[in-house]
Amino acid sequence: MIRWTNFDALESYKALNALNKVDLVKEMSGENGAKRAAEYSVPMAGGLAFNYAAKAVDADTLKVLAQLADEAQLTEKYAALYNGEMINTGEKRLVLHQLTRGQLGSDVIADGVNKREFYAAQQAKINDFVAKVHSGEIANAAGEKFTTVVQIGIGGSDLGPRAMYLALENWAKNNGCFKMEARFISNVDPDDAAAVLKSIDVAHSLFILVSKSGTTLETLTNESFVKDALANAGLDASKHMVAVTSETSPLAKSSDYLAAFFMDDYIGGRYSSTSAVGGAVLSLAFGSDVFARFLNGAAEEDKLARNTDLLSNPDMLDALIGVYERNFLGYSATAVLPYSQALSRFPAHLQQLDMESNGKSVNRFGEPVDYVTGPVIFGEPGTNGQHSFYQLLHQGTDIIPLQFVGFKNNQAGMDVVIQNSTSQQKLCANVAAQIMAFACGKEDDNRNKYFAGNRPSSIIIGEQLTPEALGALLAHFENKVMFQGFVWNLNSFDQEGVQLGKVLAKRVLAHETTGALKVFSDLLGI
Amino acid sequence: MIRWTNFDALESYKALNALNKVDLVKEMSGENGAKRAAEYSVPMAGGLAFNYAAKAVDADTLKVLAQLADEAQLTEKYAALYNGEMINTGEKRLVLHQLTRGQLGSDVIADGVNKREFYAAQQAKINDFVAKVHSGEIANAAGEKFTTVVQIGIGGSDLGPRAMYLALENWAKNNGCFKMEARFISNVDPDDAAAVLKSIDVAHSLFILVSKSGTTLETLTNESFVKDALANAGLDASKHMVAVTSETSPLAKSSDYLAAFFMDDYIGGRYSSTSAVGGAVLSLAFGSDVFARFLNGAAEEDKLARNTDLLSNPDMLDALIGVYERNFLGYSATAVLPYSQALSRFPAHLQQLDMESNGKSVNRFGEPVDYVTGPVIFGEPGTNGQHSFYQLLHQGTDIIPLQFVGFKNNQAGMDVVIQNSTSQQKLCANVAAQIMAFACGKEDDNRNKYFAGNRPSSIIIGEQLTPEALGALLAHFENKVMFQGFVWNLNSFDQEGVQLGKVLAKRVLAHETTGALKVFSDLLGI
């Protein structure tokens, strides 16, 4: 029997509060530090490992965190979710994104359909379409192959797929499986669509319109932009566009599109990269085989997230350390710092995933909670960030926990030796160095050159950013956010906080405003 | 006589602490809200205005903030800086970035040189070079014009110039002054250089190597990458590269470069967009006239920053409201949210500018301070952010102050009417709506749909993102950060916090490690 209980009503909440703080400077120095670095590591899928040696936890902390996992019934709640219980209570929806990449528990039948089969069938339909596009069986009016795919979508229809595309672009180019360039149009700012349209050859471009409801204003507006551009080029828009939407949306059976691929209400936008939302664009760009490998990586990580032993469950462990930092160490933000240029937009995806899921003040019953919930998430790739905001991370007045990611090998297979090391070695040396600099700091009589240390980080280390590794990485953070939502007793799968702005924007456009809103509308020339 | 005093030693510190908190819901509702929205506005340069109606301040707050400005001698300290006093005491350097775009006070003579004349002469040298490149007088070995310029630099040599380039790219294309595509290589990750090099035609590319010291490891490594690519294409690298560096650097008089343009130690990297660091790449991309207009916008804003009346000094006012929020309202982060796709990387530039300048725990004398300093800065363009992290901004447990930016007109001159409004109107309607949604919130018996409001924001509103507007925007934030540094009694112009990581990374590459650092190095395959 699952109990949905507020975090501060749990016994382990008190136990966590009573813990002695861990001194990272001491823990990470000398032989003890070496032992931690070697032992505080959990295997992940895709050849990755989650290393938490430089987190401010010790055996005592981990013991209480394991009690918390048990008391908060994290494993049971995860099982309830993937077995099809209605976890998104606010919107009365199941939460099934894990089913898009595998079968974890029992069959989930909803709306009279086996949902695993439904998602697999949609991807099979995509694969069939993709094969025809790549072979030229589906081509433009002149019978020429499409060379570019343009995703039109915003939020979850943009950030995740875009981050995944950038993550694999160079890997695909270097491994002979790069099929089509992908571009993305998201913002309602007309300069966004204009810039993308100017940079592509529309006659050889295939557009994917992505909107679950089929009513997202930004996306419909940008569709209209694209249709104008196609018409101006003398092209039939319906031969250049496909839709990714729900079966009940106005886009589902429109003759405006070459094809329609479906997701449903059980896939939240920010969890949709492994559904048709990511499936269409990524399969067109890299081939269906690569997308299947990406799904496999995610599915394997989902399996690890079932482990009941906290210390062999990387997703749950990461989640609970994060909760400890947020609620008991008082840290209000987390920086995501991938030492991989390919992950340049991965932090922007995690920003949505995490902040939209757990940036909430009421529990799943709509009651205000008395503890802090989701942190601010931000980040940029290393080493770039070192030359930017790391100053504050090292010597600022607030402590910001850090999430590093690093790979032994690069993707493009090009490198150069300068001062006796390759660029890849320099990249990896920097992330190793940063972990230790943040943890242990440095004494100096000149306080300007003094580093207090005790700034916690974890690192996910892999061989190379492959499709499997990327899938595992994505699922890791999805599952981390899910577990944190369970602990905080939130509904991590709705987003009521985005509604008010939409309502007021409509009022502005209808000129139905008074007071300050009218003044701001006037100032902005509306 | 200037007194460098800690913030908490000022009388106004106590007065700020004693202020009643302003209720934004009340202040921004009804007629009073309309009055505030109209009146709480300060003109900026470039046709911009800083509107702070939705900040949690009132006449009482503003009065005490004006006392603070006075007591902390902000105007005097700014004058000392631009008149050439040694403000960067840690590194014993003057701080002269404002001189790159105008003469605010008396002549500054340093190292026997009139520094204003020096910076102007460097830009004149750039203009001469640019004219020759654009005319084809300076061309590749085949006598063909260069079409692409690639900036090789990291940190301040990358983030600012890149953000400025993206900000004006579409404006330039739409106004007939787009001259050359620009690209940027920054990360030591070899995949960064590999991807850029694969995407350009090196035979028609001019590379700008940017490093003040001439010793930045990332930049030298990437230079080597580029030289290899040029050599592989059978090209003479020295005919494809220029350097932007200091006169004393090893790059200054090298025959490896077509030309060298100089900055000096008085221009911090994060303040270098208006120096040769931004001047070379932006003048090549858009022409010297456009760059001159950008400098003019910045220079005009610098002049406004001298206003002694706080309410007519947009930079100082923004700074002091930010200090009040940070130190007395307890807000630890600020989100920068430009409703303009062209400003997509402007938040990343501000992240460096702000966090590297004021992310410090010791005052300018190296003594620990007992108050919090620079906040975390993050952000993405709207409306994209609305579909991502705004959930937390509206309903999360922490309050994050917001910095909006909006323009009445777009840049590309393309637009489309959907549901009776243009995309530009939708964009502007959204930002107006967000200000009010954050300030006033919404009552609802369903707590899941309830918005508490009292989430402060300011907005900078302009006609269009022109070169002048961009210059003003850049200088506004540079001056804001400077004034905040003065209040916090920090040295905002050094960055000792980046040194330790560099030292440890060198040790890793030399295999001179023990303990946890050795383990991490091994795990990362070094």
Distance CA A415, CA A237 (A): 43
Residue among B218, B421, B501 whose CB faces A437 most closely: B501
Question: Inter-chain contact B37–A509, Cβ cutoff 8 Å?
Answer: no
Tokens of A9: 């009503």
Q: How far is B94 from chain A (nearest CA, A)?
A: 18
Q: Tens place of pLDDT for every residue, chain B, 526 residues? A: 899 999 999 999 999 999 999 999 999 999 999 999 999 999 999 999 999 999 999 999 999 999 999 999 999 999 999 999 999 998 999 999 999 999 999 999 999 999 999 999 999 999 999 999 999 999 999 999 999 999 999 999 999 999 999 999 999 999 999 999 999 999 999 999 999 999 999 999 999 999 999 988 889 999 999 999 999 999 999 999 999 999 999 999 889 999 999 999 999 999 999 999 999 999 999 999 999 999 999 999 999 999 999 999 999 999 999 999 999 999 999 999 999 999 999 999 999 999 999 999 999 999 999 999 999 999 999 999 999 999 999 999 999 999 999 999 999 888 999 999 999 999 999 999 999 999 999 999 999 999 999 999 999 999 999 999 999 999 999 999 999 999 999 999 999 999 999 999 999 999 999 999 999 999 999 9
- pLDDT band (50, 70, 90) for residue A36: very high
Distance from CA of A121 to the nearest CA of B (A): 28
C-alpha span between A365 and B448 (Å, rounded) = 8
Query: Inter-chain contact A410–B189, Cβ cutoff 8 Å?
Result: yes
Say if pTM beats, i.e. exceeds, 0.95. yes
Contacts of A432 in chain B (CB under 8 A): 504-505, 508, 517, 520-521, 523-524, 526
Single out the residue of B155, B198, B253 nearest to residue B495, CA to CA.
B155
What pLDDT score was predicted for residue B123? 98
Residues of A within 8 A of B449 (CB-CB) are 496, 499
B24 touches chain A (CB under 8 A): no
Which residues of chain B from 304 to 323 reach within 8 Å of chain A, CB to CB? Answer: none
Parallel, antiparallel or unpaired: strands A49-51 and A457-462: antiparallel
Interface residue B511 vs chain A (CB under 8 A): no
Distance, in Å, from the CA atom of B18 to the CA atom of B21, rounded to the nearest integer, reads 9
* Main-chain phi, psi angles of B474, to 5 degrees: -60, -50
What does DSSP say about strands B402-407 and A402-407: parallel, antiparallel, or unpaired? unpaired
Nearest neighbour of A519 by CB, restricted to B29, B37, B221: B37
- Partner A, chain B 392-431, Cβ-Cβ below 8 Å: 392-398, 400, 406, 408-416, 418-431
- Higher-confidence position of B326 and A213: B326
Position A513, amino acid:
T
Are B384 and A340 a contacting pair at CB < 8 A? no
Q: Report the alpha-carbon distance of residue B418 to residue B267 in Å, rounded.
A: 47
For an interface test with B, the pick among A394, A500, A504, A513 (most B C-beta atoms closer than 10 Å) comes out as: A500
Q: What is the pLDDT of residues A324-345, one digit of tens each?
A: 999 999 999 999 999 999 999 9
Q: Are A237 and A230 in contact (CB under 8 A)?
A: yes
Name B323's Cβ contacts closer than 8 Å, sequence gap at least 6.
B7, B68, B484, B487, B488
C-alpha triplet A188, A192, A195: angle, nearest 5°: 155
> Which contiguous run of DSSP H or E holds residue B376?
strand B376-378
Q: Write the single-letter amino acid at B189.
A: D
Report residue B119 as tokens.
């910076």
Question: For position B38, what pLDDT does the model report?
Answer: 98
Q: Do B505 and A426 touch (CB under 8 A)?
A: yes
Determine whether the interchain pair B189/A423 forms a contact, defined as Cβ–Cβ distance below 8 Å. Answer: yes
CA–CA distance, B302 with B294 (Å, rounded to integer): 13
Long-range contacts from A171-177, C-beta under 8 angstroms, 24+ separation:
A171/A342, A171/A411, A171/A464, A171/A465, A171/A466, A171/A467, A172/A285, A172/A286, A172/A290, A173/A412, A173/B198, A174/A411, A174/A412, A174/A413, A177/A286, A177/A287, A177/A289, A177/A290
Chain A residues near residue B90 by CB distance under 8 angstroms: 448
Yes or no, beta carbons of B429 and A521 under 8 Å apart: yes
In this complex, do A191 and B355 lie within 8 Å of one another by their Cβ atoms? no
Helix (H) or strand (E) holding B349: helix B346-358
Interface test with A, best of B35, B392, B494, B506 (most A CBs within 10 A): B392
Cβ-defined contact of A388 to B421 (cutoff 8 Å)? no
- The stretches of B388-466 forming alpha helices (DSSP H) are 390-395, 423-440
Q: Kindly list the distances between the CA atom of residue B357 and the CA atoms of B16, B214, B243, B478, in Å, as whole numbers in the listed order.
A: 24, 22, 26, 10
- pLDDT for res B90: 87
What residues have CB less than 8 Å from A224, skipping those under 6 apart? Answer: B416, B418
CB-based contact, B3 to chain A, within 8 Å: no
Please tell me the predicted confidence (pLDDT) of residue B524: 97
Nearest CA in chain B to A425: B526
**How many whole angstroms separate alpha carbon B441 and alpha carbon B433?**
11
To test the contact with chain A by mutation, choose from B211, B389, B390 the residue with the greatest count of A C-beta atoms within 10 A, namely: B389
The pLDDT value given to residue A254: 87
Query: Percent of chain A beyond pLDDT 90?
Result: 97
**Among B435, B442, B452, whose Cβ lies nearest the Cβ of A520?**
B435
Break chain B down into helix, strand, coil percent, rounded to 5: 50, 15, 35
> Residue A167: its pLDDT value, please?
98
Q: What share of chain A is helix, strand, coil (3-state, %, to 5)?
A: 50, 15, 35
For residue A507, list chain B residues with Cβ-Cβ distance below 8 A.
433
Catalytic center residues of B: 356, 387, 502
Q: Cβ–Cβ of B195/A501 closer than 8 Å?
A: no
Reply yes or no on whether the pLDDT at A466 is more than 90: yes
A136: left (phi over 0), alpha (psi -120 to 50) or beta: left
* Confidence band of A135 (pLDDT split at 50, 70, 90): very high
Spatial distance between the Cα atoms of B181 and B63, rounded to a whole number of angstroms: 49
CB atoms within 10 A of CB A25: 18
Length of chain B as a residue count: 526
Q: How far does chain B reach from its first CA to its final CA, in angstroms?
A: 55
Whether the upstream peptide bond of residue A514 has omega within 30° of 0, thus cis, is no
Q: Which residues of A touch B193 (CB under 8 A)?
A: 414, 423
CB B399 within 8 A of CB B335: no
pLDDT at A446 over 90: yes
Distance from CA of B110 to the nearest CA of A (A): 26
Region class of A396: left (phi > 0), else alpha (psi between -120 and 50), else beta: beta
Distance CA B106, CA B118 (A): 15
Mutant choice from A28, A363, A436 vs B, greatest count of B C-beta within 10 A: A436
Cis omega (within 30 of 0) for bond into B383: yes
Is residue A284 within 8 A of residue A206, CB to CB? The reply is yes
B428 chain-A contacts, CB cut-off 8 A = 521, 524-526
* Residues in chain B within 8 Å Cβ distance of A371: 397
B47 touches chain A (CB under 8 A): no
Looking at CA atoms only, how far is residue A105 from chain B in angstroms?
A: 30
Contact A20, A60 (CB under 8 A): yes
Cross-chain CB nearest to A498 (options B36, B391, B494): B391
Chain B neighbors of A381, CB-CB under 8 A? 187, 189
Q: Which residues of A touch B36 (CB under 8 A)?
A: 516
Catalytic residues of A: 356, 387, 502
Those residues with Cβ within 8 angstroms of residue B369's Cβ, 6 or more apart along the chain or in another chain: A397, B6, B7, B8, B361, B362, B363, B488, B489, B490
Rounded mean pLDDT of A412-440? Answer: 94
Residue B332 to residue A398, Cβ atoms within 8 A = yes
In this predicted complex, what is the ipTM?
Answer: 0.97
Contact B388 A189 (CB under 8 A): no
Confidence at A217, pLDDT banded by 50, 70, 90 = confident
Q: Which of A188, A374, A500 sits opposite B383 (nearest CB)?
A: A188
Residue A50's pLDDT is: 98
